[in-house]
Amino acid sequence: MDSRCEKLVRSILEDPMASDEIKIQRLRHFEDEARALQRAASESAMNPDDGWQADLRCARMALGARRIRKGAASL
């Protein structure tokens, strides 16, 4: 079963009307949102396993990140 993130990434990548540049912009915007949510979750009393880290990792993988760090050092 695909995660919400994987479905969003697929919809961005498979959009026939969007150029590669637009797709990259959309993926970067999604990465920024995922990073902000992950950061907010790490600084609050939210459940530490709320999935925001997974969304950030998914967004970065879609952008072709070669190395994805885990933990506080990745902020």
Q: From first to last of its 75 residues, what are the pLDDT tens digits of the chain? A: 578 888 888 899 899 999 999 988 998 898 888 888 878 777 766 555 566 677 778 888 888 854 445 555 544
**CA-closest candidate to residue 75, choices 46, 48, 49, 36:** 36
What pLDDT does residue 67 have?
47
What pLDDT does residue 73 have?
52
Residue 34 burial (C-beta neighbours within 10 Å; 0-12, 13-18, 19+): buried
What's the rounded Cα separation, in Å, for the pair 12 and 40?
A: 25
Give the length of the chain.
75
State how many domains the chain has. Answer: 1
What pLDDT does residue 49 have?
58
What pLDDT does residue 8 have?
87
What's the domain range around 68? 4-74
What's the rounded Cα separation, in Å, for the pair 23 and 33?
A: 15
